Structure 1
Amino acid sequence: MSPSATGLVLDRVTIAKAGTPLLSLSARIAPGAVHAVMGPSGSGKSTLLAYVAGFLRAPFSGEGGLALDGVDLAPLRPAERRMGLLFQDPLLFPHLSVGGNVRFAVPAAVRGRARAETVSRALREVGLEGCEARDPTTLSGGEQARVALARVLAARPCALLLDEPFSKLDMALRDQVRTLVFDTAAERGLPVLLVTHDPADAEAAGGAVTRLD
């Protein structure tokens, strides 16, 4: 599999725990496409995302090629890989406003009025325009998930890594937020690696699926 291909490329990536293999995966995820990895707890799904993002820690280990739009990720630090991560919990900072949470992710190179504009645009994209001053603890679960997505988008990622970010939402909100995430990724041309145990997530993504035994 050519590492120069556009999108996110995983070339014979293997993940192990204390030397015991957990999974192996090769994939090319085109811009805007979603590759879903399905499997039970303990199968190495979240560990795979940690390897791609660059913060894998012992006792886990990984090997194999990683490239994003032709750039080898191996020598890059996590921040340099430009990966946007969404987790099961929104992980919002309770001491910051909604706008403060999103502003936290804006790259340092974006200064002055452009920072405020970046925050406003990110919130507008997720349907929370004008909510900068809100206390995140007053938001519903779906709204908190939207703020988490806005924060990721404000960081200007080049790919998205999703660690079961819809699993704690009720069914109605799950469909809504899932559609928002996948549509936004398609609009921005972001390759998405999704790990989940829910077949509905993989079906909604509409892309390739790898199932782990």
Structure 2
Amino acid sequence: MTKGLQLNTLAVWHGTRQVASLDARIEPGQILSLMGPSGVGKSSLLAAITGTLDPALRCTGAVLLDGADITNTPAHLRRTGLLFQDDLLFPHMSVGANLAFGLPATLRSRLSRRERVDAALDEVGLSGFAPRDPATLSGGQRARVALMRVLLSEPRALLLDEAFGRLDATLRAQVRDLVFARARARNLPVLMVTHDAEDAQAAGGQVITLG
């Protein structure tokens, strides 16, 4: 089986106008950085990969994940994890409940789910934070919880949509390094959309500029 994320002439269209296109292969553990000015279709390409493309748009080409064509697979079955600029934690849930939300539905045992959540918090230096209200967390802590919620869903690829954009310079570097390290530890192919050249440099992989 061919591992990794492969985009075969993936293109997003609005009517007869091509919004963006990308032809790339990302090996497990590698990070591909996608750069370019606002409005060139970077986020639309991510939406095409995750199956959440705006109905006004359409895509052509193919998305293959670990050798399987997922171009027409429903979004919830694609096993693609997406981290946004906003952490999108549920304010009415505890930190632990937010993390448990990411767990596969097949994991039914309450004890197993709690153990998985506790292990995830321990992995990012937040042991004992499960009962906490997300509103009491710092920006860096919220970013770590958001990352682990995505990883607990057991994705086979990780997509980053300006994921570090709201963090100050020092925190940005810390969270970025953590995200890259956790993704590499799981041998995930990573596609990162960013405006920041330092993000791309830190990723150490191929950089493609659109527009």
Q: TM-score range by the shorter chain?
A: over 0.9
1:175 aligns with 2:173: yes
Tell me, in whole angstroms, the C-alpha distance in 1 between the residues paired with 2:16 and 2:159: 25
Match of 2:15 in 1: 18
CA deviation vs aligned residue, 1:122-172 (integer Å, no higher than 9, x gap)? 212222121001110011111110110010111111110110010100001
TM-superposition CA deviations, 1:68-90 (whole Å, max 9, x none):
11111023111111111100000
Q: State the partner residue of 1:34.
A: 31
C-alpha separation between the residues in 2 aligned to 1:48 and 1:24?
Answer: 7
- 2:57 counterpart of 1:60: yes
For 1:118, the equivalent position in structure 2 comes to 116
Per the alignment, residue 97 of structure 1 pairs with 94
How many residues in Structure 1 have an aligned counterpart in Structure 2?
Answer: 210
Shift, 1:34, TM fit: 0.5
The correspondence for 1:145, drawn from 128, 143, 146, is 143
Aligned to 1:205: 203
Residues 85, 162 of structure 1: 8 Å contact kept:
yes
Whole-Å separation in 2 of the counterparts to 1:169 and 1:119: 25
Instruction: Quote the residue 1:133 is aligned against.
Output: 131
Contact 2:79 2:154 in 1 (8 A): yes
Structure 2 length-normalised TM: 0.96
> Are 1:166 and 1:174, in contact at CA under 8 Å, matched by a contact in 2?
yes
Cα distance in 2 between the residues matched to 1:122 and 1:27 = 31
Alignment of 1:176-195 (within 5 A): 176-195=174-193
RMSD: 1.1
Indicate whether 1:76 and 2:73 are aligned: yes
How far apart, CA to CA, are the structure 2 residues paired with 1:26 and 1:194? 15
Give the letter for the 1:207 counterpart. G
Return 121-130 or 191-200, whichever deviates more. 121-130
1:163 to 161, 164, 179: 161
Q: Tell me, yes or no, if the aligned pair for 1:13 and 1:26 is still in contact at 8 Å.
A: yes
Q: Which blocks of at least 5 consecutive residues in structure 2 are unaligned?
A: none
Q: TM-score, normalised by structure 1?
A: 0.95
SS of the counterpart of 1:93?
A: coil
User: What letter is aligned with 1:183?
Assistant: A
- Please tell me whether the aligned partners of residues 67 and 73 of structure 1 are also in contact (alpha carbons under 8 angstroms): yes
What residue identity is the alignment partner of 2:79? R
CA contact (8 A) 2:95 2:133 kept: yes
1:109 aligns with 2:106: yes
Given that 1:126 and 1:149 are in contact with CA atoms closer than 8 Å, whether structure 2 keeps it comes out as no
- Which is further off, 72-81 or 85-94? 72-81
Distance 1:93 1:63 in 2: 34
Distance (Å, rounded) in 2 between the aligned partners of 1:75 and 1:50: 13
